[in-house]
Chains A and B, each alone.
Chain A
Amino acid sequence: MLRQKEKLLRIVSTIIIIACFYGTGIAQDMTITGKIIDSSSNAAVSGATIALKNNTRIGTVSDVNGNFKIVVSKGAILTIKSVNYKTVEVQTGNDLFLNITLVPASSELDEVVVIGYGTRKKKDLTGAISTIDAKDIEKSTAMTPELALQGTAPGVFVESGGGDPSSRPLVRIRGVNTFGYAEPLYVVDGIPIYEGGSGVTDGAIGDIRSPINIFSLINPDDIESISVLKDASAAAVYGVRASNGVILITTKKGRGKAKIDASIKYGVQQIPKFLNVLNTQQYFSLITDSYNANPDMNNGVPVSIGDKFGDFYNPSSSQYAGNSPTYDWQHELVNKNAPIQDYNVRISGGSESVNYYISAGYSKTESPLKSNYLERYSVASNIDARISKMFSAGMTLRLIQQNSLENTQDDLPSMANVIPFQPFKDPNDITGFAPVSSGSFVPNPDYDPSLADPGAPYNFAPGDPQLLWGSQSKSNAFALETLNNLSYLLYNAIGNAYVQFEPITGLKIKGSLGGTYYQNLKKDWNNFDSWRFSQTPGNPYSGQDGNAKGSYRERRGTTINWNKEISINYSHVFAGDHSLDILLDASDQFARWTVSDLVGNVNYTDPQFRSIDNQPPYTQGFYYILQEDDLIGYLGRLSYNYKSKYYFDATVRHDGSSRLAPGHKWGTFPSFAAAWRISAENFFPKVQFINDLKLRGGWGKLGNFQSAGYYEYLSTISLSPDYSLGSGNGNGIGTQLQGAALPGFANSTLGWEKVKTTSFGLDAILFNNHVNFTAEYYDKLTFGIIQSVSLPPNTGIQDPADLNIGEVRNSGFEFNIGYNTTFGKVNFNAGGNLTTVRNRVEKLYLGTPMGGESGRIEEGYSMFYLWGYKVGGIFQSQAEIDNWRKTHADVNIGQDINDPSVGYQYQPGDMYFQDVYGNPDPDSKERYSKNPDSLINSNDRTYLGKTIPGFFYGFNFGANWKGIDVSLFFQGVGDVQKFNYLRASMETMTGLANQLSSTLNRWTENNHSTTMPRAVYGDPADATRFSSRFVENASYLRLKNLQIGYTLPKSLTNRIGFVNNFRLYFSAVNLFTITKYTGYDPEVDGVPPTRQFLVGANLSF
């Protein structure tokens, strides 16, 4: 390489010298041949134009091998131009053969961005698009690609799903559009991904769909770039599926000289923070305080603590546990230094006729909690072939197998509140773990195997089962991990093939067929013995004949998705100045989702025999779900620009869906955008500090395909009504007959929910190309949000009906800034982005608020806000109580404003709540009166905080010097609150569960705390109600990634011979988090995101 370059330099300089020497000589025609190559890959550059600088009529084009031939006069200056390369000029001299190296145009402006159905130079963009490329994706250690967008793409809010590698991050683009389906559309290499169950992770559908994140099916290492289409003008090409934004994933392709890239990554993960909980002594002191403050009474005499809670709590009993050791369940659940590993090999290259890319990868990430990992094997190929001048074809295919173990039997918070004296190990038990329940069995006299439901052959003996550690006994997760097993086996295939016909330059007709196949097999084994380790032991003999060693469930979900598409694209520059690009497209996507479920008993413990084969005769099988969907879309887009100065784009998409009623199946989604590159105007001053300036704006309409349920326009038949006929002649019962009814409202006018977006932006390149800056404003109104509402009773419709009612508005600003410069030999770059979100619910059915206290949806407020009581304070003295009771009464605890002797009698140390509002005026429609009424009741619940962050941001710094590179990446969110469920269950001091160490600061006679009330068993003051007590600021700033790398000098790699490039690095992920949130992590508490330390290497051959 080096030698070649030197040679090239020598040639070029010689040319120049000779050219100068002969520059003014007599013109003399000569035939010059030459070869044009790419500076980075040394691949031939075809299609480059070679022309005389002062007479462009004399010119030629390089052939497929980069070769050209031109007849010019000696000393003439040649201009060599090619798309994506910087233009060079060469003066001809004596050499008849020219080696010309083109350097790729790397200017920010010429960067090519993937838009929906095509690519475009950054300077020509009119819509709002964020992009990240392979460099950003490489830094993310997650097995799923969405996490790479966190903090790197303005407008894209990403919340980690936590440390469980199978969990799914939450992605919301420019606010949260709806309380319905709010997930963006993912498009991988042109195939819109369809997921059965539409991304639901909770409720019955979520359980059927399983908690697995389908996006881990794409190996992030195969991704070239991710583009996020944020506004209607960018996303309208996806019409009815685009209202929540579109994420375009483009995978790597081969180009240039054949090469092999390999990457290796290995690291360990830790849980950064644990909760401090009480030890056994502190626990018993708390329970004693708490119970003595409010003991049960028996005929006026307090019941002793031992009689109330059992012998473990009775100081005079031999079983008293107050002096037992403390068992740390939290740390026991942790998978210490959980490994994370990732290996990838990519082979790629290309010639004029074929470009190819083949990759294979293996990746495994263990959860920071025991018995949980995600393992992935992936292969992928991208092949493009130019068959003839007019025809080309290509195919991309990726195959993935994933094994996911999801056998962690509990999460960290529930380990923290285990009673501290309950042990988890017991060497005397056959399993080595301490049992939680005991019991013996007696034969069941009613057992009759001849019946369809034979009953259980044995029942628990009377009085059994018993919990061994009292009523607060905790299931032994560690024993259950070894006895039971829950895993998923996932297969995925995703592919697309196309043929393109280009009859004349600029006109491309492309047909493609593609699809995905995704299978998720859940395998769940429940050991017969597991009842002994459960806090809610059920009869293990129920539903079996007495021989079963356990039950086994297989649940199989399969999604197929088949996409046919034909598109025509014509682009041409007319008269040199009018650039036109027209796209017409039609597509048809069919999807089917099926779920089947089989469960039964297995008479063997051998894991080899966990199979449906071994389950008769008790196997119960049923098809849960079979859903089909079809979507047809027609798309037209016109893009025009004049001299790269004035831009205009118009897009219209016409979509039809099988989900809606005939007559309402079709919707039209238009969008318009315009841009003005002011800096391209002649009047614009040529100043160094503004290199490029563009204003842009757009308006459009999008739909939410997933918002409409399946066949909501058809009434389902309910066969549950029944009536009896034929009673008489001494038979009073008659014959029960099944009836039929149509309990639902067949909403034949139901449509999708839709979004109208308006956005404005400004792009600038400043300070001699050192700074690029983008500012954007967006305003989106979601309307016709589908609400499931109970209809007026006079309709006679029993089931809630889906109606297009709700409206939500999101608006905000986005800023993005990048800076790069060179100080001597140090290259330095920095960047940052900030997005603000203002979310408001504007309309609901009859204005009625929805949702619970932890996620209330109400007109005029941010969606999912926290709604509850406001803490007044803690009474420090009886005088304070008497004073308060003169003017207030808390109805929730039975108090009466007129009679202080009624209801709960406050004691010093009790928490009280504020009187915010009053009872509603019965003559008005208001839900509460704005005027406080001295009474504390449910009307006093009010806004406590919002769960949609007001802003989020990311910023980064990078520098490299010689072979060393350092980068830092910070990410954070702000203006957001969270209800801390950990404190809400572990600072209550009202029961037997273990509590946080913060309760050591509780109010006592000697410690007049103003934040932590006294401990009272049973919570007579209702201090644990949903209130501001547990609402915390959940803003955070994380050092998301720190990376230090070293690239071996070429001299060294050359000596190795076949190695082209070799970089070693160390990186730390989530090194620290600054937050006021007191739980495990402001993002996820159950399985918090991990701190990771990794080493890795990238090699090219």
Chain B
Amino acid sequence: MNNRKKYLFAFLMMSVAGLVILNLSCNKKNLDLLPHGPTEESYFTQESDFTKAVIGIYAKLTDFYWYHGDPWSGLYTIFYLPGDDITINDNDEFEQFGSLQPSSGRVSEFYSVCYQLIARANTVLQKISEVPDGIYITPNLKDYNKGEALFLRGFAYYYLWNYFGTAPLDTARVTNTNQFYPSNTTGTQLLDQAISDFSEAANLLPDSWDASDIGRATKNSANGFLGKCLVFRASATNANSDYNAAITAFNKISGVSLVPNFEDNFNYATENNAESLFEFQASQAFAVDNIWLPNDFDNAVGSISAFYGFYDNDPSTFEGYGKSLYYGTTKFLNAFNPNDPRLELTMDPSDRTIRKYVLNQ
């Protein structure tokens, strides 16, 4: 072979071998490995995966009611203390307000929990929108699940608007780094979203659930919250149309009545009763309900209770937890007709300690 032929041959051989390399030696599919545990990729392939994901949204509610809720002072105090009914014999940023700072751990935790609930709801909504036929077997369950996710998301937006006003709006699941810093909302945008979520949920949710599913959101739950949100928006914008819409929503609530026994509303054994629109389903973890551990800790000990110890002045139950006693205000006491039979059931008129939640503990 002369030199030129040699080079030609070398070039030819390299091309052939190059082709071999590109096509045969390495199959790019080899890179498509998946982990040997459940991930999103392998999940949402059967109906029960979806129902579990919906239960996961409900579970986030626990963080609002959990007795020792992070950071150990409980988020429910944000619901109760700013009002004029319940007070505390201690300095508390939500009682005195003067000491309330943006850096308050309770405020940022409340904010975080709202968005965590929204994130769970957004995930379920995304997955339901993508679900192929044949995964959902139970009739209507797909609609119910979608309604539950919308209802719970509306619940979180309602609180966000109520407490933070202009917090960001996230209606899509965060999957990209450029979704980290959305702009704040203005006006009643959050409330608008809550109203839209509740309206849609009211059309999707069932009138009632089977006995074993009692506690899940129903049409009544959605209409109740829808009406409430419309009233809130009406007060903010003075729009009469909202008041009218609220009336329409409330009128859609059916099949409920006041309970004959006032105390049934506060007894955990009768928490779901004729008066219920939507109840937080306090329970206890199957091993030990460890009030120091969040629901997300695990199934066995993560707290799923709403312990009313803060109304209980039995030192043996909560002295060690370092919480001050919550009791009724004088204004609250004076609001009762002294002969009202509900007074004695609600509080001890002599020292204004709250009775209703702890009567049946």
Contacts and interface: CB of A to CB of B under 8 A. Distances in A.
A525 B42 CA distance: 40
A717 B40 contact: yes
A749 B122 CA distance: 20
A297 interface: no
A390 to B, nearest CB: 11
Interface string B24-61: 01111011111111111101000001001111111111
A586 B25 contact: yes
Contacts of A734: 214-215, 281, 283
A725 B273 CA distance: 14
Nearest to B7: A572
Interface residues of A, number: 76
B30 A632 contact: yes
B182 to A, nearest CB: 7
Contacts, number: 249
A796 B214 contact: no
Interface stretch (B111-119, B235-243, B307-315, B324-332): B111-119
A632 B28 contact: yes
B80 interface: no
B283 A714 contact: no
Interface string B171-194: 000111101111000000000000
Nearest to B53: A740
Q: Give the interface centre of A504, A586, A658, A721 by most chain B CB atoms within 10 Å.
A: A721
A824 interface: no
A738 interface: yes
Contacts of B13: 503-504, 507, 509, 568
B22 to A, nearest CB: 7
A871 B147 CA distance: 63
A504 B1 CA distance: 10
A722 B299 contact: yes
B52 A719 contact: yes
A714 B213 contact: no
B256 interface: no
A625 to B, nearest CB: 9
B271 interface: yes
Nearest to B281: A724
Nearest to A729: B211
B155 to A, nearest CB: 14
Contacts of B26: 564, 586-588, 632, 634
Given A587-B26, A630-B33, A632-B26, A796 B117 contact: yes
Interface residues on B, range: 35 or more
A588 B25 contact: yes
B135 interface: no
A888 B205 CA distance: 66
A733 interface: yes
A723 B212 contact: no
A89 B296 CA distance: 84
Contact of A796 (B27, B119, B284): B119
Contacts of A585: 21
B2 to A, nearest CB: 12
B351 interface: no
Given A728-B214, A796-B117, A711 B25 contact: no
A560 B179 CA distance: 40
B55 A740 contact: yes
Contacts of B295: 720-723
Contacts of A506: 10
A1094 interface: no
Nearest to A734: B283
B292 to A, nearest CB: 16
A794 B25 contact: no
B55 A570 contact: no
B43 A717 contact: yes
Contact of B115 (A710, A731, A796): A796
B17 interface: yes
Interface string B152-182: 0000000000000001101000111101111
Contacts of A737: 52, 55
30 contacts: A566-B17, A568-B18, A586-B21, A586-B22, A587-B26, A629-B33, A632-B31, A634-B21, A658-B32, A665-B31, A716-B35, A718-B296, A723-B58, A723-B281, A723-B283, A724-B282, A724-B283, A725-B281, A728-B211, A728-B270, A739-B59, A740-B52, A740-B56, A745-B174, A793-B108, A794-B170, A795-B170, A796-B120, A796-B174, A798-B116
Given A662-B32, A723-B295, A794-B170, 11 more contacts: A564-B26, A566-B25, A711-B35, A724-B281, A728-B214, A729-B211, A733-B284, A739-B54, A748-B175, A792-B180, A796-B122
Give the top 3 A-B pairs by smallest Cβ distance, nearest first: A796-B119, A724-B283, A739-B55
Interface of A: 503-504, 506-507, 509, 564-566, 568, 570, 572, 582, 584-588, 590, 626-630, 632, 634, 656-658, 662, 665, 710-711, 714-743, 745-749, 791-798, 803
